[in-house]
Amino acid sequence: QVQRVMPNDSFYFSIVRDPGSLGESAFSYFRAAAPAFRRSPSLAAFLASPWRFFRPGLRGNHYARNLQWFDFGLPEPAAPAEVPALLERLGRVFPLVLLAERFDESLVLLRHRLCWPRDAVDVFPHNSRAAPPKLPESQVRRLRRWNWLDWALYLHFNRSFWRQAEEFGLPRLREEAAALRA
């Protein structure tokens, strides 16, 4: 829908986050908004049996499963085999997708794609928890499995990001990211 009102030469970019950490954050942040999260006494209980709490179509439950897929406006695939084509199409709309876990490096690539000078980009923490909890690996795996479309989305754009990073030059990327943090 955005493409209909934007000029044809617009540059679209977005950001994705590993659903293994995003799921915990969403559970905490959207607890009041998502019935599936509200009904669960804890994240561990939710992950042990998500279908016990999750009802598709309930208002607010889009926060509880495949949130990024929803945010990108992608349709629910009828079969897993449809996912790669949907991701390829999305990749043509978004030539650069930043990685939350590699935010500084992402900003470097974005700055160069937009031909911005070095001083046009700065980093400051905003709206983040001081120390997000470290989840057990079993919960991270369960979050990725539960949010399987988000995991496919993340893996797709993670590969795309690192291809672009290699084309840019990894030593140069590390150097510019370090300068951004300084």
Residues 19-78: pLDDT tens digits?
999 999 999 999 999 999 999 999 999 999 999 999 999 999 999 999 999 999 999 999
Q: Residue 24's pLDDT is what?
A: 95
Averaged pLDDT, 78-103: 97
Please report, as a single letter, which amino acid is at residue 82: E
Averaged pLDDT, 75-99: 97
Residue 131 has pLDDT above 80, yes or no: no
Cβ(61)–Cβ(32) below 8 Å: no
pLDDT band at 137 (very low <50, low <70, confident <90, very high): very high
Q: Residue 166's pLDDT is what?
A: 99
Q: Is the dihedral of CA 65, 103, 157, 3 positive or negative?
A: positive
Length of the chain: 182
How many CB atoms neighbour CB 145 within 10 A? 13
Cβ(109)–Cβ(180) below 8 Å: no
pTM, whole model, 2 decimals? 0.92
pLDDT band at 129 (very low <50, low <70, confident <90, very high): low
In degrees and rounded to multiples of 5, residue 74 shows phi and psi of -80, 145
The Cα 14–Cα 28 span in angstroms is 23
Q: Residue 123's pLDDT is what?
A: 78
Averaged pLDDT, 149-176: 98
- Which secondary structure element, helix H or strand E, spans residue 49, and what is its range? none
Per the DSSP assignment, residues forming a β-bridge with 13 are: 96
